């Protein structure tokens, strides 16, 4: 399955069925992030039920220092 | 004396808003907050970089602070709206500093796009604080669009050049009919005091503190300057005139 995560094309195995599966991977877990899937914000409570599909565009953002 | 600044349903006792960018280390931020007395603090929203263990800035911001996410990076109203909605989804409140910029050299705001974004976000219930060029008609349109305040620049972002737009900011304070928060460009405590003496509702600054040799000392200096300027505004400045007017009696001299 091919996903676009923060603009980067990423190939994932089919074990990543839900958003929660993806976000439990080592590079993403333990981070406080806001998640957008194909332009729609996904609430934390829905991570476990939102299914990923080939070609999905995912934005993972967080707060950084700024003025 | 109760001189709270009322914005977005909150009564703020500090009129110094600060940013979180450019610190040599983010662990300075809690102490800067304490020394500045600030209650409102800006943050930016960015993509998470999986290669970096850069921590979320929120871990350095005490929970009692009012978070003011900015929309930096937005070039259009639509991009600003998207960023604001994402920021609100973090569950840290509904304040937003709209920042729509198309000029990469001076980072001057696009007032027209800023007005459009303000209309959309105020209608969605955001407390909207737009960064803007100090233009009266734009300020009035922002007010009509539902902005909680306007935030004109004193000088380009991060320039530390002071109140270069002083005359125009003065006009906004007189005429705009909503709080005016001077945002960007203030480099010295004396400039923050000057903005407050003029009747600004607050000042927002980041670079002046973050790039000082001693950010904690500078945070405290700005706290005092903002409080002094505000007190002077409330006390009413004495009249200015061209020629001298003796402060001591002009009669009863000893040498006559």
Kindly report, residue by residue over B32-48, the tens digit of the pLDDT.
999 999 999 999 999 99
| A67–B70 C-beta distance less than 8 A | yes
Q: Is 90 exceeded by the pLDDT of residue B255? A: no
List the one residue out of B161, B164, B168, B201 whose CA is nearest residue B182. Answer: B201
Contact A66 B21 (CB under 8 A): yes
Q: Considering the domain boundaries, does residue B123 fall inside one?
A: yes
* Optimal mutation site among B29, B50, B59, interface A, most CBs of chain A within 10 A: B50
For residues B132 and B130, what is the distance between their CA atoms, to the nearest angstrom? 6
Query: Looking at beta carbons, which residues of chain A come within 8 Å of B22?
Result: 65, 67
Contact B212, B218 (CB under 8 A): yes
Cα of A51 to nearest chain B Cα, Å: 20
Per-residue confidence (pLDDT) for residue B1, from 0 to 100: 61
Interface contact flag, B87 A43, Cβ < 8 Å: no
Q: Which domain holds residue B54?
A: 13-235
Q: Around Cβ B39, how many Cβ atoms within 10 Å?
A: 19
Name chain A contacts of B204, Cβ cutoff 8 Å: 67
Say if residues B81 and B117 touch (Cβ distance below 8 Å): yes
Q: Name the nearest CA neighbour of A62 among B54, B46, B62, B61.
A: B46
What percent helix, strand, coil does chain A show, rounded to 5?
Answer: 10, 40, 50
- A46 touching B (Cβ < 8 Å): no
The beta-carbon neighbor of A67 closest among B48, B87, B157 is B157
B227 touches chain A (CB under 8 A): no
Better-predicted residue by pLDDT, A12 or B243: B243
- Tell me if B251 sits within 8 A of B216, measured CB to CB: no
Please state, in angstroms and as integers, the Cα–Cα distance from residue A50 to each residue in A22, A43, A56, B24, B50, following that order: 11, 10, 12, 39, 22
A-contacting residues in B 39-68 (Cβ below 8 Å): 42-48, 50, 54, 56-58, 67
Query: Are B44 and B50 a contacting pair, CB within 8 Å?
Result: no
**Phi and psi of B10, rounded to 5°?**
-110, 150
Which site among B16, B21, B36, B47 would you substitute to test the A interface, given the most A Cβ atoms closer than 10 Å to its Cβ? B47
Cβ–Cβ < 8 Å for B62, A58: no
Query: Is the ipTM above a cut-off of 0.90?
Result: yes
| Residue B167 tokens, joined | 């005359």
Q: Within a 13 Å sphere around the CA of B255, how many CA atoms are in the beta-carbon half?
A: 1
Q: Rounded to an integer, what distance in angstroms lies between the CA atom of residue B107 and that of residue B74?
A: 12
Give the number of domains in chain B: 1
Residue B84: the pLDDT is 97
Interface probe, candidates B18, B42, B48, chain A, greatest A C-beta count within 10 A: B48
**A66/B72 touch (CB, cutoff 8 Å), yes or no:** yes
Give the span between the Cα atoms of B23 and B114, in whole angstroms. 28
Q: Among residues B187, B147, B123, B124, which one has the least CA distance to residue B132? A: B147
Per the CB < 8 Å rule, is B44 touching A66?
yes
Residue B97 among the catalytic residues: yes
Contacts of B58 in chain A (CB under 8 A): 32, 63
Percentage of chain B lying above the pLDDT 90 cut: 93
Question: Backbone phi, then psi, for B33, in 5-degree steps?
Answer: -60, -45
pLDDT along chain A (67 residues), means of 10: 93 84 86 92 93 94 94
* B219 vs B209: CA distance, rounded Å: 6
Question: Structure tokens of B193?
Answer: 């005091």
- Residue B181: which region, alpha, beta or left (left: phi > 0; alpha: psi -120 to 50)? beta
Residue B171 lies in a domain: yes
Reported as a pLDDT band with limits 50, 70 and 90, residue B141 is very high
Check residue B227 and give its pLDDT: 98
DSSP B135-167: -HHHHHHHHHHT-S-BEE-SSSTT-----TTHH
Residues of chain B with pLDDT > 70: what percent?
99
CATH of the domain at B26: 3.20.20.70
Residue B138, in any domain of the structure: yes
Judge: A28–B48 Cβ closer than 8 Å, yes or no: yes
Q: By CA distance, what is B85's nearest residue in A? A: A41
Domain presence at residue B199: yes
**What tens digit of pLDDT does each residue of B58-99 get?**
999 999 999 999 999 999 999 999 999 999 998 889 999 999
Compute the distance between CA of residue B133 and CA of residue A60 in angstroms, rounded to an integer.
32
Which structural domains are found in chain A, ordered by start? 2-61 (3.10.20.30)
- Do B54 and A65 lie within an 8 Å CB cutoff? no
Question: Do residue A64 and residue B206 have CB atoms under 8 angstroms apart?
Answer: no
| pLDDT given for residue B256 in this prediction | 64
């Amino acid at each position: 399955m091919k996903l676009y995560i923060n603009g980067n094309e990423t190939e994932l195995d089919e074990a990543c069925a839900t958003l929660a599966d993806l976000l439990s991977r080592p590079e993403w877990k333990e981070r406080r992030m806001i998640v957008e899937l194909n332009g729609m914000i996904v609430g934390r409570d829905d991570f476990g039920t939102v299914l990923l599909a080939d070609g999905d565009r995912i934005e993972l953002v967080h707060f950084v220092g700024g003025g | 004396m109760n001189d709270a600044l009322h914005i977005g349903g909150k009564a703020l006792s500090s009129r110094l808003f600060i940013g979180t960018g450019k610190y040599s280390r983010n662990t300075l931020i809690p102490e800067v907050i304490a020394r500045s007395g600030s209650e409102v603090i800006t943050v930016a929203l960015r993509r998470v970089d999986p290669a970096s263990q850069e921590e979320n800035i929120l871990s350095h911001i005490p929970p009692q602070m009012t978070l003011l996410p900015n929309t930096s990076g937005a070039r259009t109203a639509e991009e600003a709206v998207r960023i604001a909605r994402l920021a609100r989804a973090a569950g840290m409140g509904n304040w937003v500093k709209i920042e729509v910029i198309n000029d990469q050299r001076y980072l001057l705001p696009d007032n027209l796009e800023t007005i459009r974004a303000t209309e959309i976000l105020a209608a969605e219930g955001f407390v909207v604080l737009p960064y803007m060029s100090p233009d009266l008609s734009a300020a009035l349109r922002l007010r009509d669009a539902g902005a909680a305040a306007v935030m004109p620049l004193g000088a380009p972002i991060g320039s530390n050049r002071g109140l270069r737009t002083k005359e125009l900011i003065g006009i906004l304070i007189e005429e705009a009919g909503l709080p005016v928060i001077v945002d960007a460009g203030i480099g010295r405590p004396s400039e923050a005091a000057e903005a407050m003496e003029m009747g600004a509702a607050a000042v927002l600054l980041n670079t002046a503190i973050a790039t000082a040799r001693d950010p904690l000392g500078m945070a405290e200096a700005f706290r005092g300057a903002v409080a002094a300027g505000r007190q002077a505004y409330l006390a009413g400045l004495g009249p200015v005139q061209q020629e001298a007017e003796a402060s001591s009696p002009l009669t009863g001299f000893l040498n006559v």
